[in-house]
């Protein structure tokens, strides 16, 4: 079982050094799989509009983004991120990362109304005490479970909640300039994101760590991705799981 | 989903100064675009000239992996379009003892609403029945009994509005009707029996007519009576009267 992911951001922050600038374009030119690029002269973004993904290199961070492109497993992101983490830190001479973050947005489509999914999320994640029902909120019209916690040395920021297709722009913040082909950028949301489920359970999981040695970036990526997978699957099982027959 | 506190993340279109321990930024330089790639795919420089490149609001703060790449955190933050509840770095995770999250056991996933409503409702009714059993003979008995009646009525109302959940409404209606003559005397044995039948009902994949029929006969077995087609004469409970249809 794997949950469909619609967006991934993998970002590495590091202390800037003047030695970055002469290396910027040679390092960027070595990354394949991106037909287009845009630069300010001080930073560059490599773009693959077919897959709606990009890699940006800047003096104090690099970031990979896959934006609103459905993937049913982690293979595609692995293929695109591995060359970046294998080459960029070494070529830029980065010794330590101030922060590494892997954030993924997952959607589990459901065949029910938004209000019904709100009921389920509210039932699964929130206390239903008499005081809450009578004194605070009788019946929520929307809900989100948002927590921060530490797990296996990572800091995890988790948001889970029901989502309507109309909320796509607000929840995913798609970066049209960097990741969408020119002809698509001005399209209305309902046309551009028509393949997004009408109602879905959204899981937005941000896993990060600070002060990481550069030779540990691959391990960070592997472990944080495994945690992303485990969390998203557990959440779907917990929220949408029902008792087995005969039990 | 309700939105969390949005914030911003910086993107170095500003000239930067840096050193071993220095990470300050000077004012942003005016942005310009140079584009490349195959002719047909190239970004057209003037198309979005009114919008500075990358100047977008995103869900991020220095402690968050942002959803977009943005120009200038400070400028955006001052713009009034965002609320940063906790700006600045957040304390890093304590290196606590490593207890890995467990993988939850396999579960049957249902993307339909009915099984979830059924499960939540059965759980709630069972909790109240358990409280009712413990409260028997004490002053709070009638309060819990009323709460149970009210929960059954609310569950019926919630289930009956949608075609998908209407069969569950029928099951709840049956339970209400069966319980009505027994409220004054519900022995533990009967409560336990009802509890077991509700668990069975919850575990069914679909609530089809054979399942409802079995639920009915099981309730007959537990409560020892059949549904009466006559309207109740003694019960004055308004909520329940609504469901004698």
Q: Does A104 lie at the interface with B, CB-CB under 8 angstroms?
A: no
Task: Put the strands of the sheet holding A5-13 in their side by side order.
Answer: A145-151, A154-164, A199-213, A96-109, A5-13, A61-71, A53-57, A44-48, A36-39, B34-36
- Residue B94 domain-assigned (yes or no): no
Structural domain containing residue A40: 5-240
Distance of residue A175 Cα from the nearest chain B Cα, in angstroms: 6
Provide the domain count of chain A: 1
First to last CA, chain A: 22
- Residue A33 domain-assigned (yes or no): yes
A154 in Cβ contact with A209 (< 8 Å): yes
- Residue B17 domain-assigned (yes or no): no
DSSP letter at A199 equals: E
The pLDDT value recorded for residue B67 is 82
* Nearest residue to A44 (alpha-carbon basis) of A30, A24, A66: A24
Burial class (CB in 10 A: 0-12, 13-18, 19+), A89: buried
Provide the domain count of chain B: 2
Of A42, A120, A244, the CB nearest to B13: A42
Give A212's strand partners. A97
* E-strand stretches of chain B: 14-16, 25-28, 34-36, 108-109
Q: A96-120, pLDDT tens digit by residue?
A: 999 999 999 999 999 999 999 999 9
- Residue A245 domain-assigned (yes or no): no
- Residue A246 domain-assigned (yes or no): no
Q: B196 pLDDT exceeds 80?
A: yes
Two tokens, residue A78: 């692995």
A27 C-beta neighbours (distance < 10 Å), count: 19
The pLDDT value recorded for residue B245 is 29
Lowest mean pLDDT, pick from A118-132, A141-155, B221-235: B221-235
- Residues B213, B144 share a domain: yes
Are B93 and A153 within 8 A, CB to CB? yes
- Residues B237, B120 share a domain: yes
Of B18, B53, B95, the CB nearest to A15: B18
Taking the C-alpha atoms of residue B66 and residue B243, their distance in angstroms, rounded to an integer, is 52
> How high is the ipTM of this complex?
0.88
Closest residue in chain B to residue A120, using alpha carbons only? B116
Taking the C-alpha atoms of residue B208 and residue A163, their distance in angstroms, rounded to an integer, is 30
Q: B24-72, pLDDT tens digit by residue?
A: 333 333 333 455 544 333 333 333 333 333 333 334 456 788 887 754 4
- Residues B81, B3 share a domain: yes
- Residues B199, B149 share a domain: yes
pTM, rounded to two decimals: 0.79
- Residues B207, B161 share a domain: yes
Of A10, A116, A173, the CB nearest to B59: A173
Structural domain containing residue B62: 1-12+47-87
Lowest mean pLDDT, pick from A63-77, A214-228, B1-15: B1-15
Q: Any residues with CB less than 8 A from the CB of B174 and at least 6 apart, and which?
A: B212, B215, B216, B219, B227
């Amino acid at each position: 079982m794997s949950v469909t992911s619609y967006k991934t951001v993998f970002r590495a922050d590091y202390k800037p050094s003047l030695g970055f600038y002469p290396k910027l374009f040679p390092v960027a030119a070595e990354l394949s799989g991106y037909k287009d690029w845009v630069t300010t002269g001080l930073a560059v973004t490599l773009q693959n509009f077919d897959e709606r993904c990009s890699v940006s290199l800047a003096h104090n961070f690099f970031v990979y983004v896959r934006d609103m492109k459905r993937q049913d497993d982690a293979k595609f992101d692995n293929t695109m991120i591995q060359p970046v983490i294998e080459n960029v830190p070494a070529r830029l001479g980065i010794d330590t990362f101030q922060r590494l973050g892997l954030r993924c947005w997952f959607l589990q489509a459901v065949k029910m109304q938004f209000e019904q999914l709100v009921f389920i999320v509210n039932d699964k994640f929130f206390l239903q005490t008499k005081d809450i029902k009578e004194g605070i909120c009788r019946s929520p019209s929307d809900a989100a479970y948002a927590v921060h916690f530490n797990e296996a040395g990572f800091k995890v920021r988790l948001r889970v909640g029901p989502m309507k297709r109309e909320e796509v722009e607000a929840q995913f913040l798609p970066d049209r300039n960097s990741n969408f082909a020119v002809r698509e950028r001005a399209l209305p949301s309902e046309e551009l994101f028509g393949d997004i489920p009408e109602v879905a359970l959204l899981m937005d999981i941000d896993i990060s760590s600070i002060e990481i040695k550069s030779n540990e970036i691959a391990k960070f990526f592997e472990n944080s991705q495994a945690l992303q997978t485990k969390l998203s699957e557990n959440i779907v099982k917990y929220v949408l799981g029902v008792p087995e027959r005969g039990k | 989903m309700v939105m969390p506190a949005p914030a911003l993340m910086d993107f170095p279109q500003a000239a930067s100064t840096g050193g071993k321990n220095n990470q300050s930024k000077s004012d942003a330089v005016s942005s310009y675009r140079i584009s490349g790639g195959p002719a047909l795919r190239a970004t057209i420089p003037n198309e979005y000239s009114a919008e500075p490149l990358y100047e977008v609001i995103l869900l991020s703060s220095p402690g968050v992996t942002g959803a977009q790449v943005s120009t200038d955190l400070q400028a955006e933050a001052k713009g009034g379009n965002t609320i940063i509840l906790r700006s600045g770095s957040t304390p890093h995770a304590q290196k606590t003892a490593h207890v890995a999250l467990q993988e939850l056991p396999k579960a049957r996933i249902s993307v339909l609403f009915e099984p979830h409503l059924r499960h939540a409702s059965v759980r709630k009714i069972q909790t109240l029945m358990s409280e009712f059993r413990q409260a028997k003979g004490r002053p709070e008995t009638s309060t819990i009994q009323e709460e149970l009646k009210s929960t059954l009525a609310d569950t019926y109302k919630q289930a009956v509005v949608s075609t998908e959940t209407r069969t569950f409404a029928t099951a709840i209606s049956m339970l209400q009707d069966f319980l009505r003559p027994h409220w004054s005397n519900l022995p533990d044995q009967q409560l336990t029996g009802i509890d077991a039948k509700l668990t069975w009902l919850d575990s069914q994949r679909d609530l089809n007519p054979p399942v409802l029929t079995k639920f009915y006969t099981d309730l007959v077995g537990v409560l020892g009576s059949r549904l009466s087609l006559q309207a109740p004469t003694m019960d004055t409970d308004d909520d329940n009267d609504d469901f004698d249809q």
